[in-house]
A and B are shown apart, each in its own frame.
Chain A
């Protein structure tokens, strides 16, 4: 990094912290601290929802995903818009009218205390671990590419935001997320535009799309069907994205308190709904544009030498293993391929420039053949890395940042590094706020003291935010030494989302089912999800569907066996005394 990059990076990060502090109004109680006195307008809700969902890995991984696998990842979001409407009709009005602090409070009113505490504890454990990993994941990438100390990077990634999150609560989180998104989208747009501007003369945006498309990177819509039928192990296709994505979005936005806590800050039901509905409309096009940046980077690398593996640290590790000779052979084959590719793209450029479509098409076909060989070489390299025990054998998350560091001008590199830090801060700050809120309201008030007075509860809430912040940084520091466990922690979320959604669906729609049945059904559903994960290769999006459906069916069956109907309470009495 050059001096200009350091200046841009420091100024951007410092600017966000100062803005967060400036926007922190003094709260008098935990309603002000956790819910910003329920006075936020819809556009802040929208930006807060988006900033909470989009972590650093979103902006590192999505372009890399487009580079290696194409645009089809966008289908993952196809179920989200419909889920937003269901939430707006069912979940949102009930949460608001009950004036809840956390989503899990509702479960005690509807079922019983043990169901509320179980769900809240699942949230606390899974969210804290995944937040720790969302600090560690971008840190390890930055430290590998820039040679930074990983422990220090973890502290900057997960520690500095604690300053404004502890001090300003939900209000500071929402206002900083607004600024963060502006910087993030500005930075991503500049990076994509720069990739296009660095294509050779005569090769514009359209040609870049043709190149990416012919080489299999503009495959936006895929069905998942082949001659053998539907591929249930295929991660991203129209069906898994629409159905699995719908259940995931319903669970994430309806029952994960890091999201519920954002729209509970709205000044009215209408403002919450507006934020969620507009999120449903803009999410797919937004993700399309982020992935498009990756296809532009892919097109760019057709005209510039691309590394066989984008993580140099991982390459050094495999080179010092017993696979050194095999890797050197791969590198030699890759270098020869790059030379062949260089001649072909020169021919392509001339054909485009002089208007010879036949030559252009034959060049693109030949390029597509070379790309298949290159993909196979990259696959072999990863295979050797895995065999050598290299933790970061998959370089998808390194591709975009490698491009940024190698080719973008001074200043813009600093801005893009700031984008990584800030996008991490946006989602981590919301996570800390929600973790502290559940600890205070669901756990502290239940087990320690019902109400300790506004001032004391506020002090405790700030303390819980600080403690969760430090805990998540600690998880990130420990993750540094636990390479292979990282994936397991990431998968943890998909184990629980479906089951938690199932509990909430029973709560909302099956009025005769009581707490005893749903509690047992949740434990059974969890066992089914974990068994499916361990014994099959089912793509993980389907686990959300299986978890939710199993809990609903099991709760119905158990309630039938138990024979005793629960009180037909769809919602507590508070609902009838709406203010």
Chain B
């Protein structure tokens, strides 16, 4: 059986992966900004 090469692993679509990765990155930027300000 050929593999469905368009289907991403774990999530339903690549848009979901973009959202997850960019969301997680944004969350980290916010967290690190807060840490930078808190401990500056």
Contact = CB atoms under 8 A, between A and B. Distances in A.
A221 B39 contact: no
Interface string B1-21: 011010011100010011011
- The majority secondary structure among interface residues of chain B is helix
A553 interface: no
Given A210-B39, A213-B39, A269 B5 contact: yes
A220 B8 contact: no
Contact of A268 (B3, B10, B14): B3
A578 B36 contact: no
A268 B25 CA distance: 27
Interface stretch (A56-64, A78-86, A105-113): A78-86
Contacts of B33: 220-221
Contacts of B39: 209-210, 212-214, 218
B9 A578 contact: no
Interface residues of B, number: 23
A85 B14 contact: yes
Contact of A273 (B8, B18, B29): B8
Given A85-B18, A284-B25, A579-B2, A270 B36 contact: no
B5 A82 contact: no
Given A88-B8, A269-B3, A274-B9, A81 B21 contact: yes
Interface residues of A, number: 36
A534 B2 CA distance: 50
Interface string A195-238: 00000000000000110111000111100000000000000001
A74 B3 CA distance: 36
Interface string A280-293: 11001100100000
A221 B14 CA distance: 28
B32 A221 contact: yes
Contact of A277 (B5, B17, B28): B17
A84 B5 contact: no
A221 B25 contact: no
A268 B7 CA distance: 12
A32 B12 CA distance: 33
Interface in A77-123: 78, 81-82, 84-85, 88-89, 93, 96-97
Point out which of B2, B14, B32, B33 has the most chain A C-beta atoms below 10 A from its C-beta. Answer: B32
A220 B3 contact: no
Given A84-B21, A214-B40, A220 B32 contact: yes
A93 B4 CA distance: 10
A82 B22 contact: yes
A298 B36 CA distance: 16
A288 B10 CA distance: 26
A270 B25 contact: no
Contacts of A78: 25, 29
A486 to B, nearest CB: 32
Nearest to B35: A220
A220 B32 CA distance: 6
Contacts of B28: 284-285, 288
Nearest to B5: A93
Contacts of A82: 18, 21-22, 25
B37 to A, nearest CB: 9
Contacts of B22: 81-82
Nearest to A295: B39
A84 B18 CA distance: 10
A28 B32 CA distance: 50
A220 B17 CA distance: 25
Contacts of B20: 281
Nearest to B25: A81
Contacts of A221: 29, 32-33, 36
Contacts of B40: 213-214, 218-219
A505 B20 CA distance: 25
A220 B34 CA distance: 9
B33 to A, nearest CB: 5
Nearest to B24: A281
A425 to B, nearest CB: 30
A162 to B, nearest CB: 35
B38 A270 contact: no
Nearest to B38: A213
A231 to B, nearest CB: 18
Contacts of A210: 39
Nearest to A94: B5
Contacts of A280: 21
Contacts of A85: 14, 17-18, 21
B35 A218 contact: yes
Contacts of B21: 81-82, 84-85, 277, 280-281
Contacts of B24: 81, 281
A270 B3 contact: yes
15 contacts: A71-B32, A82-B21, A82-B22, A82-B25, A85-B18, A219-B40, A220-B32, A220-B35, A220-B36, A269-B5, A270-B3, A277-B10, A285-B28, A288-B28, A579-B2
Interface of B: 2-3, 5, 8-10, 14, 17-18, 20-22, 24-25, 28-29, 32-33, 35-36, 38-40
Given A269-B3, A277-B17, 12 more contacts: A78-B29, A82-B25, A93-B5, A213-B38, A214-B40, A220-B35, A221-B36, A238-B29, A274-B9, A274-B10, A288-B28, A578-B2
